[in-house]
Amino acid sequence: MPERTPDVAAIITAHAEGVMAGLSFRSLLDAVGVARAEGIGVEVLVVLDNPTAATREVFAEADEHGARVAEVSYADQGKVRNHAVGLTTAGHVAFLDGDDLWSENWLADAHRMCAGAPQVIGHPELNWFFENQQNLYFLPDQTDPDFDPALLRIANPWDALCLAPRSAYVDHPFSARAVADGYAYEDWHWMLETYRGGYVHRVVPETIHFKRRREGSQYVQARARKVLTRPSELLDYAWWQERDRSV
């Protein structure tokens, strides 16, 4: 019997999180357990990018939890994610950062929403930021009649910790960071490209991502350095004029 292609690849990426990554891994394994209990085939991948010794140590026995571990040296979250997608043949891919947590229903509920619709990308209903100050960010659903897609030109309403068809990552790989040239926000650019490519960004009701506030995160660094997303047709007024005509 040929081995069944996994339905979902649950991928955790880590770098210098140290022992905190253990909490994230535990959260991921809980969500994997819930999904498998619903009959969803889940593959678990750990991708470490220039890991510190402490981070590597956290995943030293990951195979005992059924996880495969890969180590890369990119210092670039987009490239790490692109690499990770290449390691799996699963129909859908879900990423978790090494210091964040999923609500345990995330994989199961998101897969249920996305599995039947080939171009749907699932986002949690709520990003629950913790440490220091609590921010609750309810993510928008682009099918909400009040959602204005022009928001994508001004801000990124979603983030890369979503569950998406593998094809979304293959057709639209994350762009490389080039901070010295003023380009970053690869996840924002990915949202622009997938939106333009016809993917539909939906919210999975009653799901939560718990996100740690980090002063030194790549996002915070990018904001401080005044970088921009790479150019995209979705930033181009010509695209919007065409859209005006078609709507």
Partner 1 sequence: MRSIRLRRRPDEAPPAIESEDTGAAAGRERPALARRMRAAAHPRFYAAQVGDPSLADDVDAAVRHYLEHGQQAGARLSGLFNEGVYLERLAERGLGVAAGETPFVHWLTVGWDERVVPTVLFDEAFYVARHPDLAQGPEWGFAQYLRAGCYAPGRSPTPFGPNYGGVPDRDARERQDPPLVAGLLHRAAEFDLSRTSWLEEGVQRGAAKLAGLDTERMRTLVAKAAAIEPLVAQTPKERWVSWPPHTHPMVRPTAAAEQVRRSVGLVRADTMVVVPGGAEPGPGVRAVVAALRTQEPDATVLVVTTDAPAPALLAGATRTVDLSGPFAGMTDARRLLGLLDLVRGLRPRRVVVADSALGWRLLTSYATTLRHETSLVAVLREATEEDGAASVAGDFQACFDRLDRVVTDTDAQRDDLVARYLLTSAARCRLVSAAEVGAHGLDALAGGGGARA
Q: Can you give the binding site for partner 1, defined by CB under 8 A?
A: 23, 26-27, 30, 101, 103-105, 126, 128, 130-131, 133-138, 140, 144, 146-148, 150-151, 153-155, 157, 180-183, 206-208, 210, 212, 226-228, 231, 235-238, 240-241
What 3-state DSSP class applies to 24? helix
Nearer to partner 1 (CB atom), residue 13 or residue 88: 13
Nearer to partner 1 (CB atom), residue 183 or residue 190: 183
The nearest distance, CB 43 to partner 1, in angstroms, is 22
Nearer to partner 1 (CB atom), residue 133 or residue 246: 133
Q: Which two tokens stand for residue 196?
A: 């333009």
Burial zone of 137 (CB within 10 Å; 0-12 exposed, 13-18 middle, 19+ buried): middle
Q: Which two tokens stand for residue 124?
A: 């949690």
What 3-state DSSP class applies to 242? helix
User: Minimal CA–CA distance to 174: which of 6, 24, 13, 10?
Assistant: 13
Q: Count how many Cα atoms sit within 13 Å of the Cα of residue 70 in the half-sphere of its side chain.
A: 18
The nearest distance, CB 145 to partner 1, in angstroms, is 9
User: Minimal CA–CA distance to 184: which of 76, 81, 107, 85?
Assistant: 76
Q: Which two tokens stand for residue 17?
A: 């999180």
As a whole number of angstroms, the distance between CA 181 and CA 159 comes to 23
The nearest distance, CB 104 to partner 1, in angstroms, is 5
The nearest distance, CB 157 to partner 1, in angstroms, is 5
Nearer to partner 1 (CB atom), residue 105 or residue 218: 105
The nearest distance, CB 41 to partner 1, in angstroms, is 23
Q: How far is CA 195 from the centre of its chain?
A: 15
Nearer to partner 1 (CB atom), residue 111 or residue 166: 111
Nearer to partner 1 (CB atom), residue 61 or residue 223: 223
Q: What is the CA radius of gyration of the chain?
A: 18
The nearest distance, CB 10 to partner 1, in angstroms, is 16
